[in-house]
């Protein structure tokens, strides 16, 4: 009999905590929106892919992949993953379905792979059989492996020609390697979905260059997406203490890290030679101070008509979702969403098949949050 | 004897008010700066021009022009001004010296001119003789005159070919006139310095069009400057409740107001047809929510090397100085300066001959403030 009042108090508490997120209308510049928690209890979720039935595959950086049902039920860890180096920024990272998934069943995922000399980012594909991955194939492994817990990249983006891009970080301790073509550090690579190398890659005929390389001079790109009209790859790159960049990554071009950057060394002091240099690309846009940019997507849905064509960028440090009004290759305006209403580190933003935006919060009790229209 | 403690207290107060502004180092993204009050007691200063001896000519919206010596002494009102309509946003507005001032002595100034049907923006030139303007010539008068206290423009900018631009507002109550060429509302005009019309203006051969018109579809541009390398006119435009714009104003082009805009009606509700339309230019950049953009300049000095090529925009409502990192025709990044450290409505920003930036605060006790390097 004594317990009853205590239980009632807890029930009330639970309601007061959960209701505001579900019910509050947020009036943004171009849309009235609401937030809804789809799932929670995920350990630093990093990547998200929608299955044809509306369920989601989610990666947790700690090294687990889980299916989350359309109504938010979080499944047990999927078995059959390769060995993963889960430390620092490393772990199980991005996930994407083959554009022809309904016919071939391939699921691609990136991860930190341990091995001789340290670790590096790898890309594998496998098929899902019940709650197990089968037919596992490692289709790419970043060279060289180094002893570092940082700057793994890595987003998987399909081009419209049967190839895919993978963004690869400079591993932090090896930033000068981003400028040379004999390694995969600080690069975007382009490969066929079976891991073979496209004949029209920019450096296939360059002596001493690794043929997977698409673009170079990068630092750590945790966001990337293909422009819905031009088909070009746009990526978001963590800068050093400021100088996060939005780039259009074009075949064979040098994006300047660590020679040119808008960032500074932690604690102060210039890096490199300034802001621009012949033969190196400057960004479409940059953030100083840094947002710590992570996942990135173009919005193409019908649910938020005034967001069509906009770029959304998840931010870790600034705990915001940046909306960029883009025209051609220009960013005309930036709006920062949800810093006040949500206030969570955001690892990723994905457009669902329903036209809603889905966010992953970067926390040990991480969530999938859906943005829906308020009306 | 009784008075002595009171006087001491007042002296101490004066020191404590003035010292922080002069001494505090402000650490911005690209420069460590200090602020210094050059002059005060100006009534809503609007325009600022440097004389060859380092003194300044300053306009006060209330209708006075004053010389301020290089060491900050504010002179008596200069005599010889024409009749000025000083109400609302109207009054004595911009001021500029002829590029060949040392030889010809011409001083140009814009102002709200009363007349049949109401008032409009006019441009005059005169020479300074002691503390009097002489040889006054009105070289342009905006048509038609209307009954409105708002949206006069007006910045005077010299092109490098012996012509000048004047920006002209839509007078608020006549916004649809910005779309037709039979009037000067919501236009940039280009004239010769004697008021005659350049033969290569875009509409000189267009029937029914006023031949002074350079570009149209504008709302209220209180900032304008010529790009130091391209020679093109860049202007800052007040939008309606958001949607302040930065434009490159090109010959004969339509900048869309009030058909396309990023702004909304005050109190909510869309204006016009959306964000873009064939045959209308979209801005290089825009601010939503609005800063209320006023004066604008390109920094070209040596004192702040990492600011070279940047656009500075004075903001009234947001009480900030926006620094835009510009590359070509793209704005890569915006920094907002001084909102915390100064917190004043800013009407104008001008680069002095000494390479420092000078600000005008929009207040009945308005100031000229100089930004100097802290080191």
Res. B77: pLDDT tops 60: yes
Under the banding of pLDDT at 50, 70 and 90, the label for residue B286 is very high
**b (16+ CB within 10 A) / e for B111-141:** bbbbeeebbbbbbbbbbbeeeebeeeeebbe
Asked if the Cβ–Cβ distance from A333 to B29 is below 8 Å, we say no
The answer to whether residue A54 is domain-embedded is yes
Helices (H) and strands (E) in chain A, counts: 2, 25
Q: Give me the pLDDT at residue B9, please.
A: 36
The answer to whether residue B4 is domain-embedded is no
Res. A265: pLDDT tops 90: no
Q: What is the mean pLDDT of chain A?
A: 92
Res. A46: pLDDT tops 60: yes
In tens, the pLDDT along A176-215 reads: 999 999 999 999 999 999 999 999 999 999 999 999 999 9
The answer to whether residue A363 is domain-embedded is yes
Asked if the Cβ–Cβ distance from B327 to A276 is below 8 Å, we say yes
Q: Decide if A151 is catalytic.
A: yes
Report the CATH number that the domain containing residue B120 is assigned in CATH: 2.120.10.30
Find the domain containing B111 and state its range.
Answer: 9-373
Tokens of A342: 């949500």
Asked if the Cβ–Cβ distance from B276 to A327 is below 8 Å, we say yes
**Which residue of chain B comes nearest to A264, CA vs CA?**
B29
Q: What are the chain B neighbours of A243 within 8 Å (beta carbons)?
A: none
Tokens of B178: 């910005």
Res. A237: pLDDT tops 60: yes
Under the banding of pLDDT at 50, 70 and 90, the label for residue A339 is very high
Q: Give me the pLDDT at residue A23, please.
A: 65
Task: Provide the whole-model pTM.
Answer: 0.89
The answer to whether residue A1 is domain-embedded is no
The answer to whether residue A351 is domain-embedded is yes
Q: SS3 string of B244-292?
A: EEEEEECCCCECCCCCCCCCECCCCCECCCCCCCCCCCCCCEEECCCCC
In tens, the pLDDT along A274-326 reads: 888 999 999 999 999 899 999 999 999 999 999 999 999 999 999 999 999 99
The answer to whether residue B362 is domain-embedded is yes
Q: SS3 string of A325-368?
A: EEECCEEEEEEEECCCCCCCCEEEEEECCCCCEEEEECCCCEEE
Res. A129: pLDDT tops 50: yes
Q: Rounded to whole angstroms, how far apart are CA atoms A239 and A241? A: 6
3-state secondary structure of B104: helix
Q: What is the mean pLDDT of residues B153-165?
A: 97
The answer to whether residue A66 is domain-embedded is yes
Q: Which residue of A286, A289, A335 is in closest CB contact with B332? A: A286
Total domain count for chain A? 1
Which sign, positive or negative, has the C-alpha torsion A200, A201, A207, A210?
A: negative
**Which residue of chain A comes nearest to B246, CA vs CA?**
A332
Instruction: Could you list the beta-strand ranges (E) of A116-162.
Output: 118-129, 132-141, 156-158
Mark out the alpha helices in chain A (DSSP H runs). 3-23, 101-104
Under the banding of pLDDT at 50, 70 and 90, the label for residue A86 is very high
Identify the burial level of A65 via C-beta atoms within 10 angstroms of its C-beta, where 0-12 means exposed, 13-18 middle and 19 or more buried: buried
Residues A301, A302, A306, A311: what is their CA dihedral angle, to the nearest 10 degrees? 0
ipTM: 0.85
Q: What are the chain A neighbours of B285 within 8 Å (beta carbons)?
A: 330, 332-333
The answer to whether residue A4 is domain-embedded is no
Tokens of B140: 């342009």
Q: Prior bond to B258 cis, omega within 30?
A: yes
């Amino acid at each position: 009999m004594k317990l009853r009042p205590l239980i009632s108090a807890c029930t009330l508490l639970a309601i007061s905590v959960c209701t505001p997120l579900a019910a509050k209308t947020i009036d943004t510049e171009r849309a009235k929106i609401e937030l809804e928690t789809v799932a929670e209890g995920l350990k630093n979720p990093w990547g998200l892919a929608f299955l044809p039935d509306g369920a989601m595959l989610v990666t947790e950086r700690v090294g687990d992949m889980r299916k989350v049902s359309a109504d938010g039920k979080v499944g047990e860890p999927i078995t059959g993953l390769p060995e993963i180096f889960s430390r620092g920024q490393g772990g199980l990272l991005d996930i994407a379905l083959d554009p022809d998934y309904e016919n071939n069943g391939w699921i691609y995922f990136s991860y930190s792979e341990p091995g001789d000399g340290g670790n590096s980012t790898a890309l594998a594909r496998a098929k899902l059989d019940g709650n197990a991955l089968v037919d596992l194939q490692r289709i790419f492994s970043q060279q060289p492996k180094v002893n570092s817990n940082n700057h793994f990249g890595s987003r998987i983006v399909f081009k419209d020609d049967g190839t895919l891009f993978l963004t690869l970080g400079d591993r932090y301790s090896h930033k000068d390697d981003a400028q040379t073509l004999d390694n995969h550090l600080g690069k975007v690579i382009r490969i066929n979905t079976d891991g073979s190398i496209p004949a029209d890659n920019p450096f296939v005929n360059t002596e001493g260059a690794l043929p997977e390389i698409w673009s170079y001079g990068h630092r750590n790109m945790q966001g990337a997406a293909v422009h819905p009209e031009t088909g070009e790859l746009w990526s978001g790159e963590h800068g050093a203490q400021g100088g996060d960049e939005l780039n259009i990554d074009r075949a064979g071009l040098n994006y300047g890290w660590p020679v040119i950057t808008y960032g500074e060394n932690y604690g102060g002091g210039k890096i490199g030679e300034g802001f621009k240099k012949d033969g190196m690309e400057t960004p479409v846009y940059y953030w100083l101070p840094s947002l710590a940019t992570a996942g990135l997507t173009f919005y193409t849905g019908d649910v938020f008509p005034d967001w069509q064509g906009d770029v959304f960028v998840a931010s870790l440090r600034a705990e915001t979702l940046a909306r960029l009004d883009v025209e051609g290759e220009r960013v005309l305006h930036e709006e920062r969403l949800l810093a006040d209403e949500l206030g969570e580190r955001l690892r990723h933003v994905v457009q669902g098949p329903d036209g809603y935006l889905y966010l992953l919060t970067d926390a040990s009790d991480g969530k999938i949050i859906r943005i829906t229209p308020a009306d």
